[in-house]
Structure 1
Amino acid sequence: MRIGIDVGGTNTDAVLLDGHSVLAETKTATSGDVTSGIINAIDQLRRARPFETTSIKAVMIGTTHFINAIIEADRLCPTAAVRLGLPATASLPPLVGWPDRLIKATSGTGYLCHGGHEFDGRLISPMDRSELMRVIEDIHARGIRTVAISSVFSPVNAELEQEVASLVLEQIPGVHVSMSHEIGRMGLLERENATIINACLRELAEQVCTGLAATLREAGFTAPLYLSQNDGTLMDVDYAREYPVATFASGPTNSMRGAAFLSGLETCAVVDVGGTTSDVGILQSGFPREATAEVSVGGVRTNFRMPDVLSVGIGGGSRVRVRDDDVTVGPDSVGYRLREEAYVFGGNTLTATDLAVASGHTEVGDPSLVAQLDPSHVRAGLDRIAAEVAEIVDRMRTSPTPLPVALVGGGSILLPDELEGAAKVLRPDHFAVANAIGAAIAQIGGEVDRIFAVAPGKRDEVLDTAKQEAVDRAVAAGAEPASVEIVDVEEVPIAYLPGNATRIRVRAVGDLALRDL
């Protein structure tokens, strides 16, 4: 058996799974310290379906803890950004374009040094050790505790980043180091930004991961702990300490993976309706379609793996306004105060949940408190919700062929059983906790994304090399070797570079290798 937990801003959802069977599910309020909310969720699972802690083979958790810290510009540690690229790249220094609030929250300091590579691995300029020593001394004097190292085309050749990291660790014992070739993709500024974000979260990640692991141990669990990644796969808790940015989109990703599991659909649109927003994404081969362009996180452009998701301000707590028979829904929401402010709970705010109850779609709170609502206003509000969600689904399609739509999340009760433009609409069993199920059934992945020089007649050989490297990375991350398969291959010839340069991205995925306890 395994436990899946998804920690959202309002609710913490948890499920107990035995193979593909959902044995128990629960939804509790998220606590300020996160860990006590998780323990409450596990206690409720045990009451719903008693189990021994020794029978649990793994615990999987998805959390928004780290991305919230960036959005709120809070709990971030002082960070230095060291870039190897001179004499090139000087016109756009590290932290260029960052919001002032984040620069202030991280005490952000940028340094430019000689180094970097061309796309084919040739040096731009050799590393200057004396220059780096002066930079390291300044970092140490400022009391900076974490360092982000980036180098031009480091995904092709990471030697300089690794050499500088060793030098920093040698001179400043105990400092945290993040290297861009391990975090971002091609694109220097976006990869560097992703690395700086990762670096400023390292101390928080250490606290959160240590707290989660200790909490589970104190509760009697000996099973390994995993955290959900942006691409729908898992990482162990030690990896999460090093790479907290990998968790940023775990919420919508878990919901989409859970939708695939519950609906049996491998290719479809997924609408996850929460208390404040509805997130719409596309499943391809059972995994979320990834964003192809840079992704903005807290106002900073990055290029690490993130799902392609569009959001609309419609959820169970969305405020409903009626003016001269014109009904509007959202985008503002009562959020976590739904059980205090909605009509059906005795409050004074008309919400989308009140419309769903008044229409007979669901039974929540006291239906008699919305009996006086004008049926035409109720119908108009629900029609508005369905139309806006259908429009977002239509915008996410890349072909004229209608897609089936899977509805998940507790707020999906707002949506009808048919949506304009959808091939069909499914609301699977356990839809309200699809996010926790997505965490519980997640697999282990490995990815290669870099530029190769493809000689004439060598394309297949280069592809095979990239595929094997992706498989090896998945196995090293904890996947069962026999279960690993290639789920995505992308080739993009780069015409502006010489030598038949081609960007190749390969992703491999396999089942988690569960050890006997």
Structure 2
Amino acid sequence: MRLGIDVGGTNTDAVVVNDEGKLFSWAKHLTTVDIISGIHTAASEALSEANIQPENITGVFLGTTHVVNALFHPRQLAKTALVRIVKRPSAIKPGLQWPDHLKKYIKKIYQLRSNNHYTGSKNNIDIPVVEQLKDIIADIENEGIQSICIVGSFSPLYESEEVEVQQKIREYFPYIPITMSHEIGSTGFLERENASLLNAILSSVIREAMVSIAELFKQLRLECPYWLTQNDGSLMEIKDAMNYPILTIGSGVTNSLRGAAILSKLQCCIVVDVGGSTIDIGRIINGHPEASVGPSTILNIPVNVRMPRIESLPYGGGSLISMKDGAIDIEDTIASDIEHDGMAWGGECWTLTDSFLKVFPESFNDEKISMNELEQLSAVDCRKVISRVSKEMKDCIARLQLKNEELPVVLVGGGSPLLAEQVFGKYEKIYHPAGYPICNALGACFAPLSAEIDKVFWLNNKTKQEEVAKAKNSIIEELRLKGATKESIRLISVEEFPFDYLKGDVLRIRIKGLGEIK
């Protein structure tokens, strides 16, 4: 038996299923500010309804938007020091293209001189990097730094400099989280630095949440292994999530995509997930969420972290609506408070959900809804809102459709009933499966284990084939150690990128493997 939990911006869902995917119970509750009490309520109710004893649960699978929400609405972010290891001091300021509310967490910038050249040669006179740290260490303590990010300009080729700096700093600050860029991203200095800085800034958010979740599972007497889902829809251990929170940012969406594929039994489709804060649209190819190709962005910040290929609309069922000079304005969401403040529930806030209910009152069933307050809304204005949202969603779907065929569309998420007939009625291949409100938690239960290498190698006296074979074997061994069954392990991508402009044989190897848990 498996317990799946998804913590969204509006609701926290929990499901109990067996290994074959049979659903025994599910629960849905509003997400709480601390997220922990919401998880406790949903998980307890799902276990009680299924009449399952905690010792019969063999794994807990958790997906959460807690980390990405901390970026949108800063909370518990860490004051971070950036340590650059460069050939010469860089005039490029970190945090380019960052929103101001995040940039302010980059508190200090230090620059150390690298002894390496990209050609493989070294300086004639070495100044050990660790010897340059003396003044920096004293300053870090005086500034009250809470997290440290180390970025070497040549770390895809020489990770040793970052490791040396990390070890030296760790001697003085054993408890401060330290991010090394070679563990986060590969080539592309600014993208790698952005991703590493975001990871460092998020370190406090994820650590506090994971400690609380571990304590919660003990209270629920769940003594089984538990995992978080990450950006590519695969599983990661809690300790890895604490070190690499940026890898969990896209987990909520990928859980939804996988859950939609399971519910619809489709191997290839487009998924529209209608939530309280956002509407996310992605594609399932051969049963797996499609990953983005090339650099991706987080809050429009370029990063080189693999993310799901998603078209997101920055509004959902709880988004506030207003009219200004006849134009529609869609503002911040009240997703978690919609049952208190939304007009359909007797509140005073005009939301996206209210607009649909005004025009299509039978589209959404909730015994708490009263249509009386909606009488003050203009049906014409509400139709304008629906028209705009419909057009933008259909434009996203069109960008994701394959040229040679029309993929079916699967609607999921708590707000999907608002759209099923009203917006997509004319589409021939529309699926709105039973279980649509809890597809995220269901998708988390069947996420695979993954392992990935994205690294630059000096071949020296080795052949390309030898280095690739060695990398493949390391992926297989990593999956086996994580708990994947031998027969389920498969390499889903093997990519090689030669560097023609470097002297000597240099090769970037990127390999990804998946496996199912025992």
TM-score (norm 1): 0.87
Tell me whether 1:361 sits opposite 2:363 in the alignment: yes
Q: Which among 393, 410, 417 is matched to residue 397 of structure 2?
A: 393
Percent identical = 33
1:306 aligns with 2:307: yes
What's 1:203 paired with?
204
Query: Which residue of structure 1 lines up, in the alignment, with residue 512 of structure 2?
Result: 507
Written as runs of structure 1 = structure 2, the 5 A alignment for 1:48-59 is: 48-59=49-60
Alignment CA distance shift 1:207-1:4 (3 Å): same
CA separation of 1:110 and 1:364: change in aligned 2, threshold 3 A:
same
Q: Tell me if the contact between 2:292 and 2:309 (Cα under 8 Å) persists in the aligned partners.
A: yes
Q: Deviations over 1:167-216 (max 9, x none)?
A: 11123333322111111222112212222222233233222111110111
Are the equivalent residues in 2 in contact too, given 1:405–1:423 (CA < 8 A)?
no
2:366 maps to a residue whose letter is V
Letter in 2 for 1:92: I
Cα distance in structure 1, aligned partners of 2:179 and 2:139: 18
Structure 1 residues 291 and 331 mapped into 2: Cα distance closer, same or farther (>3 Å)?
farther
In structure 1, the partner of 2:109 is: 110
SS in 2 for 1:92: coil
Instruction: Report deviation, 1:351.
Output: 4.6
Q: Distance in 2 between matches of 1:374 and 1:109?
A: 52
Residues 216-295 of structure 1 mapped to structure 2, 5 A cutoff? 216-295=217-296
Partner of 2:432: 427
Deviation at 1:445, TM superposition (A): 0.4
Distance 1:371 1:178 in 2: 51
Tell me how far apart the structure 2 counterparts of residues 378 and 98 of structure 1 sit (CA, whole Å): 35
Which letter maps to 1:508?
Answer: G
- Long gaps (5+) in structure 2: none
Task: Indicate the residue corresponding to 1:345 in structure 2.
Answer: 345
| 8 Å CA contact retained: 1:329, 1:385 | no
CA shift, 1:279, in A, is 0.5
Aligned partners of 2:44, 2:434: CA distance in 1, in Å? 23
Q: Which residue number in structure 1 is paired with residue 7 of structure 2?
A: 7
Call closer, same or farther: CA 1:345–1:128 in 2, change over 3 Å: closer
Q: 1:472 to 1:381 in 2, by over 3 A?
A: same
- 8 Å CA contact 2:258–2:289 kept in 1: the answer is yes
Counterpart mapping for 1:338-487 below 5 A? 338-347=338-347, 351-354=351-354, 358=360, 360-365=362-367, 366=369, 369=372, 385-397=389-401, 399-416=403-420, 419=424, 424-452=429-457, 461-487=466-492
The CA deviation string for residues 213-234 of structure 1, in whole angstroms up to 9 with x for no partner, is: 0111012111122111111111
CA offset digits 1:261-293 (Å, max 9, x no partner): 222223221111112321011222322222234
Instruction: Report the alpha carbon displacement of residue 323 of structure 1 after superposing the two structures with TM.
Output: 11
Deviation at 1:331, TM superposition (A): 6.1
What is the distance in 2 between the residues matched to 1:422 and 1:97? Answer: 39
Aligned match of 2:187: 186
Q: Which amino acid counterpart does residue 416 of structure 1 have in structure 2?
A: A
Structure-2 change in CA distance of 1:322 and 1:157 (3 Å): closer
Rounded Cα–Cα distance in structure 2 between residues aligned with 1:334 and 1:248: 21
Structure 1 residue ranges without an equivalent (≥5): none
For the residue of structure 2 that corresponds to 1:449, the secondary structure is strand
Count of residues paired in the alignment: 510
Distance 1:475 1:123, change over 3 A: farther
Q: Which amino acid aligns with 1:465?
A: K
CA displacement at 1:97 relative to structure 2? 4.9
> Which of 124-133 and 40-49 deviates more?
124-133
Q: Distance in 2 between matches of 1:117 and 1:260?
A: 48
Q: Please, which moves more after superposition, 257-266 or 373-382?
A: 373-382
